[in-house]
Amino acid sequence: MAMAAARRHMLAICALLLLGAAAARSRGARVAAAVGRKQREFDYFALALQWPGTICASTRHCCAVNGCCRSEPLQTFTIHGLWPDYDDGTWPACCRHTNFDMDKILPLKPTLDQYWPSLYCSSSSTCFSGKGPFWAHEWEKHGTCSSPVVNDELEYFSTALDLYFKYNVTEMLASGGIHISNGEQYALTDVIDAIKCAFGASPQIVCKKGSVEELRLCFDKDLKPRDCLTTTSTNGNLSKTKHCPRYITLPTYDPLVLSNSTREIIAQVESEVYGYLYTS
CB-based burial label for 162 (10 Å; 0-12, 13-18, 19+): exposed
Helices (H) and strands (E) in the chain, counts: 8, 9
Helix/strand/coil percentages in the chain, nearest 5: 45, 15, 40
DSSP, collapsed to helix, strand or coil, labels residue 271 as helix
Given a cut of 60, whether residue 272 has pLDDT beyond it is: no
119-137 pLDDT per residue, tens: 999 999 999 878 999 999 9
Which residues are identified as catalytic? Answer: 80, 138, 142
More confident call, 9 vs 129: 129
Separation of alpha carbons 142 and 155, rounded Å: 13
Which residue in 105, 122, 124, 123 sits closest to 113, CA to CA?
105
90-116 pLDDT per residue, tens: 999 999 998 899 999 999 999 999 999
| 15-29, 63-77, 195-209, 235-249, range with the lowest pLDDT | 15-29
More confident call, 272 vs 212: 212
pTM, full prediction: 0.78
- The pLDDT of residue 241 is 53
Rounded average pLDDT over 21-49: 64
